[in-house]
Amino acid sequence: MAKQLAMGIDLGTSNSCVAIVEDGVPKVIANEWGERTNASVVSFLDDGGVLVGNDAKKHIITNPRNTIASAKRLIGRYSFSEEVKKAQSIASYEIVDGPNNAVRVRVKGRDFAVPEISAMVLKEMRAIVEAHVGHPVTQAVITVPAFFNDNQRQETKNAGRIAGLEVLRIINEPTAAALAYGFGQNINQKVVIYDLGGGTFDVSILQIGEDVFEVLATSGDTYLGGDDFDDRVAAWMMEAFTAEHKIDLRKDRHALAKLKEAAERAKIDLAENDKTRIHIPLLYTDKQGFSHDLDMTLSRAEFNKMVMDLVQRTFKVCDEALQQARMTPAEVDGVILVGGPTRLPIIRNSVRHYFQREPNIDVDPDLVVALGAAIQADALLDASTTTYLLDVTPQTLRLGTVGDFTEAVIERNTSIPIDRTRTFVTARDNQDKVKIRVYQGESRKASECQMLGEFEFGGLRQAARGEVKVEVTFEIDTDGIVNVSARDVETGQKASTALTLSGGLSDEDIAAAQARTAQAEVRQR
C-alpha cells in the first residue's frame, strides 16, 4: 500500500517554498513555470479573482492597495503593537483594527484576518504539489521562525486549517534547516544556524548527534529581515529625490511601491557587483504633467553603511544565543547560513568575522528550510522514523501575579514538550472560578511581555475559601504551542477552561474562513 504523502512548507515573509520526499530524497517542487520559490503575495483583482505568488508580486506596483505582501509581519500580533504600527506606516495596503485587538487587512471594503491571507499562499503551495504528484495532498508540516511566540504559531496553524490542510506539526525554521543539513550525514557537531529571512531573524545553536538534533538555545528578532534592508535603500532614494525635486513621495502609494521594488533589486544586484545603477522612469508625475525619473548609483560601501545597524542587531542576537547555550564562538563546529539575504557580502563577511570561520554555503539558503520540513513530514508518517528533533521554547512563559508583575513558569530555552503545574487556592467562599493571565517574554513587567490570553477555570466545587485548591497545568507541546488546563486537586475533576482576550481566531471564525477560501477564484496567471 502506498504510504501517505505529506508536504513541507516554508511559509516565508517574502517567499514561500514547498517540498516533498520522493523516492527517499527530499525535493523542492517547482511551480508550472519552473520556479522553486513563490512570492508570499496575494493580489485581489478588479474582476473578483485572486492572484497568488510571483505573478501577484508584479501587481504590487500596478495595484498596491489590493496587493498584500509580508503578511507574516502581522500574523499573531496585536493591533496596538509597535510592529503593526511600523508595518502600517509603510504598507501599500490598508491595515486596520479587528475585534479583541486583532489585526485585519482591508481590501475592497472587506476585512480579512491575517491567517486568511497566509492561507491563500498555503493553498497555492498545496496546488503546486498536487499538480506534480497528480493527486490530493492534505497533510503538511509548516515552518515558523524559532522566535515566534504562541500567538504567532497558533495563527500560522490556523492559516493551515483555513487552507484545508491537516497541519501535522509546526516546526522551527532553523531546526528544519539543521535537519536538512545533517540528515543522513552521521554528523557529530555543534552548529549555529544563522537564519536571516525577508522579515525575521533567528539564531539557533544545535548539537547534532547523528540522528538526534538537540537545540541548545535559540534567540531571534521577529521584525528584522531583508525587507528592512530594502526599506533603508528606499528611504535613501526618497530622501535624495525629495531634496532634488522638493516633492514628498510619502503619500504616493505607486511611487512608494516602485521605490521598494527598485531597492530590492539594487540590494540583490549589490550581492554580485560593487555598484548598481537604480533607474526608475516616471517615478512621479506632478499636477502639471511633468514626469520625474529617478536615476542614482549605489555603491556596495554606501549600502553597507546604511544597513550596518541592522547587521549589528543580528550579532546582538548571536551574543544572546551563545550566552544562553553557555558557549563561545570558538566552540562552534560549523555555521550554516539560511535565507536569501545571507547572500549579501556584508552578512557573509560579518558572520565569518564573528565566528572566526568560513560559513557553510553548501546548503541552498532559499530551499533548505522547505527540505527540512519535508523530511520531518515524511518522518512523522513513516513507521521507521530515523531523526529526532529535540527543540526548545524560545520565550519564557509567565503568569500575571499582581499589578503589572509576572513570574516565570517555564524558562526560555527549556526543552519541549514539557509541562509545569501551579496551584491556586480560592480566596472567597463559594468562589466558582479562577482567572489567570498568561504571557510570554523576558521582562518581569506584564506590559513588556506578549499576553497570550486570560484563562478562566470554572465549575469549581462550592466550598469555604481556601478549601478548593486548583492545580493549573501549563503544557508546551511539540509545536511550541501553549495548552493550559486545570483540575480540582481534592477531587481530581477537570475544571472547564475558557480563553478570552486572545485576539486569535475562534473555531467558528476558522470554519467560515475555510469556506470562503475554498471558494476564492485563484487565477493561474
| C-alpha–C-alpha distance, residues 168 and 36, integer Å | 23
Rule CB under 8 A: is residue 243 a binding residue for another protein? Answer: no
Write down the residue that cell numbers 509576572 correspond to.
Answer: 406
The backbone torsions φ and ψ at residue 78, rounded to the nearest 5 degrees and listed phi first, read: -85, 145
For another protein, the binding residue among 187, 247, 306, 390 (CB under 8 A) is 390
Rule CB under 8 A: is residue 245 a binding residue for another protein? Answer: no
For another protein, the binding residue among 94, 261, 475, 509 (CB under 8 A) is 475
| C-alpha–C-alpha distance, residues 525 and 30, integer Å | 16
Instruction: Select which of 116, 173, 214, 264 is catalytic.
Output: 173
| C-alpha–C-alpha distance, residues 2 and 5, integer Å | 9
Cell numbers of 503, please? 485576539
Our CB check for another protein shows the closer of 304 and 421 to be 421
Shortest separation between residue 416's beta carbon and another protein, angstroms: 7
Is 287 considered catalytic here? no
Rule CB under 8 A: is residue 421 a binding residue for another protein? Answer: yes
- What is the separation of C-alpha 174 from the centre of its chain, rounded to a whole number of angstroms? 12
The backbone torsions φ and ψ at residue 296, rounded to the nearest 5 degrees and listed phi first, read: -140, 165
Shortest separation between residue 469's beta carbon and another protein, angstroms: 13
Residues in CB range of 477: below 8 A, 6 or more apart: 416, 417, 483
Q: Which stretch binds another protein (CB under 8 A): 23-31, 239-247, 328-336, 388-396?
A: 388-396
Amino acid at 231: D
Q: Is the peptide bond before 136 cis (omega within 30 degrees of 0)?
A: no
| C-alpha–C-alpha distance, residues 79 and 98, integer Å | 8
Rule CB under 8 A: is residue 415 a binding residue for another protein? Answer: yes
For another protein, the binding residue among 86, 420, 433, 437 (CB under 8 A) is 420
By CB under 8 A, the residues from 280 to 319 that bind another protein are none
Residue 170: strand, helix, or coil:
strand
> How many Cβ atoms from other residues are within 10 Å of residue 255's Cβ?
24
Our CB check for another protein shows the closer of 211 and 509 to be 211
Q: Which stretch binds another protein (CB under 8 A): 332-340, 410-418, 482-490, 516-524?
A: 410-418
Q: Which stretch binds another protein (CB under 8 A): 25-33, 186-194, 205-213, 343-351?
A: 205-213
Shortest separation between residue 235's beta carbon and another protein, angstroms: 45
The backbone torsions φ and ψ at residue 87, rounded to the nearest 5 degrees and listed phi first, read: -60, -40
Query: Residues 480, 393: contact at Cβ < 8 Å?
Result: yes
Rule CB under 8 A: is residue 419 a binding residue for another protein? Answer: yes
Q: Smallest Cα–Cα separation from 476: which of 452, 450, 457, 499? A: 452
Q: Could you tell me how many residues of this chain bind another protein (CB under 8 A)?
A: 26
Write down the residue that cell numbers 516554508 correspond to.
Answer: 10
Our CB check for another protein shows the closer of 209 and 329 to be 209
| C-alpha–C-alpha distance, residues 175 and 240, integer Å | 42
Is 72 considered catalytic here? yes
Amino acid at 161: R
For another protein, the binding residue among 209, 456, 497, 509 (CB under 8 A) is 209
Is 479 considered catalytic here? no
Shortest separation between residue 99's beta carbon and another protein, angstroms: 34
Rule CB under 8 A: is residue 418 a binding residue for another protein? Answer: yes
* Nearest-10 Cα torsion for 113, 338, 216, 476: 20
Our CB check for another protein shows the closer of 208 and 271 to be 208
Query: Would you give the binding string for another protein spanning residues 354-383, x where CB under 8 A is met?
Result: ----------------------x--xxxxx
Shortest separation between residue 324's beta carbon and another protein, angstroms: 13
Rule CB under 8 A: is residue 331 a binding residue for another protein? Answer: no
Shortest separation between residue 385's beta carbon and another protein, angstroms: 5
DSSP assignment of 46-70: TTS-EEESHHHHHHHHHSGGGEEE-
Query: Residues 76, 152: contact at Cβ < 8 Å?
Result: yes
Our CB check for another protein shows the closer of 180 and 256 to be 180
Our CB check for another protein shows the closer of 87 and 379 to be 379
User: β-strands 94-97, 38-39: how paired?
Assistant: unpaired
Is 195 considered catalytic here? yes
Q: Is 91 left (phi over 0), alpha (psi -120 to 50) or beta?
A: beta
Rule CB under 8 A: is residue 425 a binding residue for another protein? Answer: no
Residues in CB range of 514: below 8 A, 6 or more apart: 119, 161, 162, 163, 164
Rule CB under 8 A: is residue 190 a binding residue for another protein? Answer: no
Our CB check for another protein shows the closer of 30 and 212 to be 212
For another protein, the binding residue among 416, 470, 495, 513 (CB under 8 A) is 416
By CB under 8 A, the residues from 156 to 185 that bind another protein are 168
Largest CA distance in the chain: 81
Shortest separation between residue 392's beta carbon and another protein, angstroms: 10
Rule CB under 8 A: is residue 486 a binding residue for another protein? Answer: no
| C-alpha–C-alpha distance, residues 193 and 178, integer Å | 7
Residues found near another protein in the complex (CB under 8 A)? 168, 209, 211-212, 214, 376, 379-383, 385, 388-390, 414-422, 475, 478
Q: Catalytic amino acids?
A: 10, 72, 173, 195
